[in-house]
Amino acid sequence: MRRAAAEAGHGPRIILFSLALAILLFRPRLALASPATFITALPVSKDQIVARLSALGSSYRDASAGSDNINVARFPVTFLYGATSRWALALQPGAQIGQMTQGGSASGSSGASDTLLFLRYTLLDKDWPRNTFRIAPVAGAYLPTGFNDASGPSGRLPSPLQSGSGSADSLLGLTAAWYNPRYGTSWDATWRHNPPASAFSDLGDTARADGQFELRLWPRTLPKDHVPDFIWADFETNLVWNGLTGVPDAANGGFAWLGWAGLEYQSVFWEAGALAGWPLAQNIPNGASSRGMSVLVFAEYYLSMPSWNNFK
């Protein structure tokens, strides 16, 4: 492994401790159903925190090996805070572990991932009976808390086994969402600027567009005397363009279109879901790693924070 076992163990422990502390300190609060594969459009109310723990397992094919020989597990933890009715702040640290088998030998890496931090401002918030619609730009950065120099017996490991870009990367984007009691949909479009981390590492910029459609499966009819639990069918898609600027490494770049389907269970104070993902289309340059199947599970808890009005 690229990282020592002691170092790799600190990240998950800190993440789990932070999540447990948040649950103990703050009261639960109801929220809307959420997109699973992207966090920029997560709904959050004023004085509310959404705390989410996710596990994402993905397989890749390395062009040099010619087989599905890379498996990566990622564990992002998301905290989204509704500071006001319009401003929201997100923090997403994480960790990953991955392994590649080739020619009878195995190489791997593990450790912390890059940390995402962004602000979201609700530019348009329109409510009418049983519906809500919003448009919100986002701005933030990926902080270089991950690694981009993991190596094995054959040299530098493929891009999926690197947990970071090696540089501070700015992020700009736009999100939109429309919810009602029967279905909901959300979208985003983002641009991540990846400056060269070194003479040997130039990922190029990344453009991404995501979409989600959720449909309420149960209850078929909403009760009038209480708030029920819900089961949602969730369909999502991700379009990712890598290596759009500069002279990206031969092991990076290309286009991938991913599709996802799964179920989400929503209670008054928490939500959990599981989705399976697969590549719908790819255009990957020679030397880059193509995507295979993925599985995502998550659980999130809705917490109430003290209102800023109490400090005035």
Tokens 């995507």 correspond to what residue?
291
Q: What does the DSSP assignment read for 265-284?
A: EE-SSEEEEEEEEEEEEEE-
Q: Which of 6-15, 84-93, 219-228, 263-272 has the lowest mean pLDDT?
A: 6-15
- CB 227, CB 219: distance < 8 Å: no
Whole-angstrom distance, CA of residue 57 vs CA of residue 173: 26
Q: What are the C-alpha distances in Å from 150 to residues 4, 51, 106, 108, 248? A: 12, 30, 13, 8, 18
Tens-place pLDDT, residues 185-230? 999 999 999 888 754 556 789 999 999 999 999 998 888 887 789 9
- Nearest Cα to Cα of residue 171 among 123, 138, 197: 138
Whole-angstrom distance, CA of residue 288 vs CA of residue 250: 7
Q: Which of 65-79, 169-183, 212-226 has the lowest mean pLDDT?
A: 65-79
Question: 233 by DSSP, 3-state: which?
Answer: strand
pLDDT of 15: 55
CATH of the domain at 222: 2.40.160.40
Helix or strand holding residue 20 (H, E) = helix 5-25
Q: What are phi and psi of 250, to 5 degrees?
A: -65, -25
Helix or strand holding residue 125 (H, E) = strand 124-128
Whole-angstrom distance, CA of residue 113 vs CA of residue 165: 9
Beta bridge partner(s), residue 270? 301
pLDDT of 307: 66
- CB 265, CB 219: distance < 8 Å: no
pLDDT of 65: 54
Tens-place pLDDT, residues 266-311? 998 899 999 999 999 998 876 678 889 999 999 999 988 766 555 5
Whole-angstrom distance, CA of residue 96 vs CA of residue 126: 39
Tokens 């981009």 correspond to what residue?
148
**Mean of all residue pLDDT scores within the chain:** 85
Q: What does the DSSP assignment read for 179-191?
A: E-SSEEEEEEEEE
- Under DSSP, the state recorded for 114 is P
Predicted confidence (pLDDT) at residue 174 exceeds the cutoff of 90: yes
Residue 310 backbone zone (phi > 0: left; psi -120 to 50: alpha; other: beta):
alpha
pLDDT of 177: 96
Whole-angstrom distance, CA of residue 201 vs CA of residue 94: 22
User: HEC profile for 195-226?
Assistant: CCCECCECCCCEEEEEEEEEEEEECCCCCCCC
Token pair for 155: 């040299």
Tens-place pLDDT, residues 104-159? 778 889 999 999 999 999 999 998 888 999 999 999 999 999 998 888 877 788 88
* Structural domain for 23, as ranges: 5-311
pLDDT of 2: 43
- CB 277, CB 258: distance < 8 Å: yes
Question: 232 by DSSP, 3-state: which?
Answer: strand
| Count of domains forming the chain | 1
